[in-house]
Amino acid sequence: MAADYYEILGVARDASPDDVKRAYRNLARQYHPDANPGDPDAAEHFKEINNANDVLSDPAKRRHYDQFGDARAGAAGFGDFGGISDLFATFFGGGFGGGAARRGPARGADVLAEIALTLEDAAEGVEREVEVTTLGACPECNGSGAAPGTFPTRCSDCGGTGEIRNVRRTMLGNVMTASTCPRCGGAGQEIATPCPHCSGRGRVEVTDTLTVQVPPGVDDGAQLRVSGRGEAGVRGGRSGDLYVAIRVLPHEVFRRAGSDLGCEVSVPMTVAALGGTITIPTLDGPLEVEVTPGTQSGEVKRLRGRGMPHLGGRGRGELVALLKVETPTDLDPEQVELLQQFAKLRDEQAGSKGLFDRIKEAFQ
């Protein structure tokens, strides 16, 4: 579906998060299935509204969408509509658990996998294979749970809806409650002859290898959602999603803060005093940078565009190099003599009258 999410919500491309939220709430109320019973067009539109909101209300997904278009078309699509229950949670503060949201076969659980990347991989973006062991549809019965050659039948208690509705008369009118059908566990089906391979459960353990596209600039703790690659649903239910948690390993040179990188660079004492060239490590290789005469420890050099790529955006952050002036520790006799001469010229000899007087003055 190549729908334009901005068009669906009727907001401008530069709409603020509040504008998106307001537009979404108005439309969702208008097209909610409960407000339009039996209208398939409204239900379809309601789904589109949710898809659009799911992307535009999340800054990372929105950036990704602005850049690449429909996120769900990508290999590691940032996900799609998370189920009607998501919306109920938004509207009713999560208290609306039962009823319509649970109708039908149960959805498969989400599955979490983890991949560890070096900082270099995170900067460039990589393709990674992830091995996931999960519950997949049974190959013998195609997930139905019924022995090959037989078919599940509609549940006699709930008539296939998977839920039992009760209407109570109260002073305030009729109150309807719905609960999962105990006979079929919400699947809406009964199985006379269970499939021997999966014992009628419809699912068996499978190990899957799939390729995940990690976008450049991804940070430690990010999660990529791969729609529909979690556990298979129960007897025809929707599959869960696979979440791939990203771990970015510590780097021996660079530390990271968002899109910026930091590192320490030592500057020889003489270069700091006289000025000259130092070498700063970057993700793209070492870089020669000039320092001015009289450079002090603690000064920083900011290198624009040498940090991490902005996730789902353009350009890169900066690299901040903290300069540390290095005091030599391995002087030979000749060097000691030269430095003593230098100190004498500067009137900086340890215990010399000049220096001592200056310290005394500072405390008076």
157 binds Zn ion (CB under 5 A): yes
Judged by beta carbon, residue 8 or residue 141, the one nearer Zn ion is 141
> C-alpha distances in angstroms, 245 versus 68, 115, 223?
22, 6, 4
Of the pair 123, 232, the CB lying nearest Zn ion is at 232
Task: Look up residue 312 and give its amino acid.
Answer: G
Q: Which is nearer to Zn ion, 152 or 312 (CB)?
A: 152
Give 196 or 293: the residue with its C-beta nearer to Zn ion: 196
> Residue 90: which region, alpha, beta or left (left: phi > 0; alpha: psi -120 to 50)?
alpha
Q: How far is CA 119 from CA 60, 96, 147, 252, 362, in A?
A: 20, 43, 50, 10, 48
- Span near Zn ion by CB under 5 A; candidates 54-62, 154-162, 313-321, 345-353: 154-162
Q: Which stretch, 29-37, 79-87, 180-188, 351-359, contacts Zn ion (CB under 5 A)?
A: 180-188
Q: Is position 158 an interface residue for Zn ion (rule: CB under 5 A)?
A: yes
What minimum distance in Å lies between the beta carbon of 236 and Zn ion?
12
Per CB under 5 A, 22 contacts Zn ion: no
Indicate whether 178 belongs to the interface with Zn ion (CB under 5 A).
no
Assign 3-class secondary structure to 308-326. CECCCCCCECCEEEEEEEE
DSSP symbol at 73: G
Q: Which residues contact 353 (CB under 8 A, 6 or more apart)?
A: none
As a whole number of angstroms, the distance between CA 62 and CA 70 comes to: 10
Q: Checking DSSP bridges between strand 287-291 and strand 276-280, what pairing results, if any?
A: antiparallel
What are the two backbone dihedrals, phi and then psi, of residue 260, each rounded to the nearest 5 degrees? -100, 155
Does residue 9 contact residue 49 with C-beta atoms inside 8 Å? Answer: yes
- Choosing from 49, 181, 212, 261, the residue that interacts with Zn ion (CB under 5 A) is 181
197 binds Zn ion (CB under 5 A): yes
Taking the CA of residue 18 as centre, how many other CA atoms within 13 Å lie in the half-sphere pointing to its CB? Answer: 0
User: How many residues belong to the site for Zn ion (CB under 5 A)?
Assistant: 12
For Zn ion, which residue of 195, 226, 278, 323 counts as binding (CB under 5 A)?
A: 195
The residues, ordered by sequence, that sit 6+ positions from 97 with a Cβ below 8 Å of its Cβ are 85
Min dist. Cβ of residue 140 to Zn ion (A): 4
Least CB distance from residue 37 to Zn ion, whole Å? 22
Q: Which stretch binds Zn ion (CB under 5 A): 147-155, 260-268, 325-333, 342-350?
A: 147-155
Q: Given candidates 124, 140, 219, 326, which one binds Zn ion under the rule CB under 5 A?
A: 140
* C-beta closer to Zn ion: residue 135 or 248: 135
- In the complex, least distance from residue 145 CB atom to Zn ion, rounded to whole angstroms: 6
User: Is there binding between residue 58 and Zn ion (CB under 5 A)?
Assistant: no
- Smallest distance, Zn ion to C-beta of residue 107, A: 17
Nearer to Zn ion (CB atom), residue 87 or residue 198: 198
Least CB distance to Zn ion at residue 103 (A): 11
* Rg, Å, the chain Cα set: 32
In the complex with Zn ion, the residue whose CB is nearer, 157 or 348, is 157
Residue 222 CA to residue 339 CA, distance in Å, equals 53
3-state SS, residue 97: coil
Contact of 132 with 243, CB cutoff 8 Å:
no
Instruction: List residues near Zn ion by CB under 5 A.
Output: 138, 140-141, 155, 157-158, 181, 183-184, 195, 197-198
